Structure 1
């Protein structure tokens, strides 16, 4: 029986849940991160990434630069 990973800290989502939140496949989210056009993921351990929900919301709302990074000056 595989160990279930701990839940991410409050306000964060693991890659799989972040992909669901954005309405894309997790592989698409990985490609966005790799290509620098998606929301910024934070590495957690060797293979896991987590995403801040507020950053996902900002990215969905178009509050990002051409490289996909959230612009904190956007209102």
Structure 2
């Protein structure tokens, strides 16, 4: 039975980022990939950061954590660039691994 799918079926992402507003970190624009997702749900952001979604919720409730937006007034959305900036700002350098010059 032919289900309409084959190894040659091309699936395009539903989300197509607006390349005119590219995110920038340290003065360098992030690469724009056709599958690049600019905004993440709280669960996606938590998975990306390696924490539980409730941790992000607690941080937001106490005014800590990465920047986020509340487009619907309820759900929180996180920009990938803000998550990266938050993590980058909290890198700990030890004597064994000094900061690169």
TM-score normalised over the length of structure 1:
0.66
Cα distance in 2 for residues equivalent to 1:33 and 1:46: 13
Q: Could you say what the CA RMSD is over the residues aligned between the two structures, in angstroms?
A: 2.0
The count of aligned residue pairs is 57
Indicate the residue corresponding to 1:15 in structure 2: 42
Stretches (4+) displaced over 2 A: none
1:1-75 aligned within 5 A:
10-62=37-89
Cα distance in 1 for residues equivalent to 2:42 and 2:71: 11
Residue 47 (structure 1) shift: 2.3
The structure, 1 or 2, with the larger RCO (C-alpha pairs under 8 Å, 6+ apart) is 1
Cα distance in 1 for residues equivalent to 2:85 and 2:73: 27
- Bigger Rg, structure 1 or 2: 2
TM-score normalised over the length of structure 2:
0.50
Greater helix share, structure number: 1
Greater strand share, structure number: 1
Unaligned runs of 5+ in 2: 1-13, 18-36, 91-101
